[in-house]
Structure formats: C-alpha cells, structure tokens
Chain A
Amino acid sequence: DGGITQSPKYLFRKEGQNVTLSCEQNLNHDAMYWYRQDPGQGLRLIYYSQIVNDFQKGDIAEGYSVSREKKESFPLTVTSAQKNPTAFYLCASSATQGSPLHFGNGTRLTVT
C-alpha cells in the first residue's frame, strides 16, 4: 500500500539536543511538507519542498532544518535553537502544490 511513514511515533529528548524526525513516502508525490500541531493552534507549516534538492521556509521555520536529497524522503531536524520544541509533528505529501495532502501518523516529540 502507498503511504507516508513517520518514525518514531514518540520521541523524548533532553533540552539542548538536536533531533531528527524521519518522513518517507512511496506515493511518488513531488511535494512534501512538515507541520507542527499544538493544542488549539491548528496546523502550522514549518517547511515544504516541491522538488528534490529544493525547499522553502514556512510560517514557523526558525529552529528547524530540512533536507530533500531523495524524492521519497524529507527529514526534519529540530535544533536546540527551537525554543519550544515539544509538539506533535506531522509530515505530509501531495501530488502537486495545493492538491490534497496525505499525512503520516505523526511524531510526538517531548523535550525536557
């Protein structure tokens, strides 16, 4: 079955450590996205990529970094510069920009 795989489901880190969240898709989608979800905040865009080796900042990119070396993969690094990293992180893909999104199951990151 085609889909998006995020791992791990739960992640715990100490403050000051960088952490990388994995996102893999086998839908052959060009566009991939990272969203952050906090209670009552809805979905906020962190980074997006429309094509391999290219990506753009979203609304809340500070303290995060991404890479898109392969079409299937779009990992997100939460750096120590992110002041409030504890959140639910969702990766998504779409065939083209603006078309319906397919979401992964998400990674719940807790930083203490």
Chain B
Amino acid sequence: GQQVMQIPQYQHVQEGEDFTTYCNSSTTLSNIQWYKQRPGGHPVFLIQLVKSGEVKKQKRLTFQFGEAKKNSSLHITATQTTDVGTYFCAGASGGGADGLTFGKGTHLIIQP
C-alpha cells in the first residue's frame, strides 16, 4: 500500500532559525496536504498542493510539491515560539482506504 515517509521525526531549533520538514511518498499523489498539531491539541489543516512543482506561501511558511508529485516540503523562516507543534503531511492518491495517508509527523521544538 501507499506509504508516506516524513523526516526528521524531531527538530530542535533556536528561535529565529529556519526549519524544514520533508515528505516522500512511495506512489504518485493527486494532492498533498499539510496539518499542524499544537501540543495537547488536534491537527489543523494548513494547505493543499495539487499541481506538479507547485509552491505556496503563508507568511513565513513555504510549501512545495515536487515535479513528480511524490515529495513535498514545508519550510518555516525565522521560527517563533508559536510555531511549536507537530507538522504532518498527508498524501492523497485517489485510491487506498481513505485517499489520505499521513506521515508520522515532525515535532518542532523551539528553544528561546
């Protein structure tokens, strides 16, 4: 079945440093979605990427979808303490049990 690998599992950064998390799918995706989960909270949808090579920005967050639609990245510029949490990618293949397969997430820990 489809697998989505996400790295790193944990990332410690100093406040103000940049952060990047990467997702790789074993199959070509129809779209990829990114979610953020604050400690003690629930995942919240951030963005969906659909087109090959697509790049989208939300303030300090930049999302990319690979040309082959099998990989994606989330980059945060100049992290702030409010960025703390776990970032999940979820790939949609158009098939599979629910059409969405989640990566295991990257835990972002920020040291002030």
Contacts and interface: CB of A to CB of B under 8 A. Distances in A.
B102 interface: yes
Contacts of B88: 42-43
Interface stretch (B43-51, B52-60, B63-71): B43-51
Most buried by B among A41, A43, A97: A43
A105 B33 CA distance: 19
A56 interface: yes
A97 B100 CA distance: 8
B95 to A, nearest CB: 9
Nearest to A106: B42
12 contacts: A40-B104, A42-B103, A42-B104, A42-B105, A43-B102, A56-B97, A57-B97, A90-B42, A100-B45, A100-B48, A103-B43, A103-B44
A64 interface: no
Number of chain A interface residues as a range:
20 to 34
Interface residues of B, number: 24
Interface in B1-58: 6, 9, 30-31, 33, 35, 41-45, 48
Given A42-B104, A42-B105, A43-B43, A97 B9 contact: no
Interface of A: 31, 33, 40-43, 45, 48, 56-59, 90, 97-98, 100-106
Contacts of A56: 97
A90 B105 CA distance: 16
Nearest to B44: A103
A41 B41 CA distance: 16
